[in-house]
Amino acid sequence: MTEEEKKIAATAEAEEKTEEKEEEKEPDLTVVMPEANRVVMPQEEYKEQPAYLTSFANFYIAKFGEEDLEIMGMYDNEHNNIVDINTYLLNNIHFTRKNLVKHVLQYHDYNFKAILDEIVKDEHIEPETMTTFDAWDDWYEDRRSRITGSLS
């Protein structure tokens, strides 16, 4: 082998060793974390409800808490309004009553209106004039007293 061939072979061998060393090096494992995307939920806007509906919902929730909805059951024929309302109330019972009234009316105002429509047909009352808890409570007790064989 000539001197020149020896130099070429040595250079090739040196390049080969350099490539092997580079292959043996561990790859750079730098983890890059992306910046978090923060989303702020918009504040929920609640529908404005009439006073009679708010007081009726408040009264209904009180009777629900007392497990005293027997009279209401007479006004929910086949539409399952009471089931819808009660399911919502059970799932959200941790709310204060004031918040529960606001939230239940947001999603189930039509159920309360359907019950009121049935009450109006049977009782011939004007729910728009009954804007207090006591007005609904007096009506409820009066209705209960008209049931024959009622213990209260």
Structural domain contains residue 1: no
Please name the residue that has the structure tokens 């009506």.
Answer: 139
132 belongs to a structural domain: yes
Whole-number pLDDT of residue 44 = 85
Residue whose token pair is 């009066």: 142
The total domain count for the chain is 1
Give the whole-angstrom CA distance, residue 89 versus residue 75: 19
All residues at 6 or more sequence positions from 56 whose CB lies less than 8 Å from its CB, including other chains = 112, 116, 127, 130, 136
Q: Is 123 part of a structural domain of the chain? A: yes
Its pTM stands at: 0.70
Q: CB–CB of 74/68 below 8 Å?
A: no
Q: If residue 115 lies in a helix (H) or strand (E), which one and from where to where?
A: helix 97-123
**Is the Cβ–Cβ distance between 59 and 117 less than 8 Å?**
no
Spatial CA neighbour of 103 closest among 63, 45, 18, 143: 45
Kindly state the tokens that stand for 62. Answer: 């009180």
Residue 27 inside a domain? The answer is: no
Question: Tens-of-pLDDT digits for all 152 residues of the chain?
Answer: 677 777 777 777 777 776 666 555 566 778 888 888 888 889 888 889 999 999 999 999 999 999 999 889 888 877 899 999 999 999 999 999 999 999 999 999 999 999 999 999 887 889 999 999 999 999 999 998 888 875 65
What element of type H or E holds 56?
Answer: helix 51-65
pLDDT at position 124: 81
Q: Which of 135, 96, 89 is nearest to 112 (CA)?
A: 89
Check residue 19 and give its pLDDT. 64
CB 120 within 8 A of CB 113: no
In a domain, 16, yes or no: no
127 is a domain residue: yes
Domain that holds residue 89: 51-145
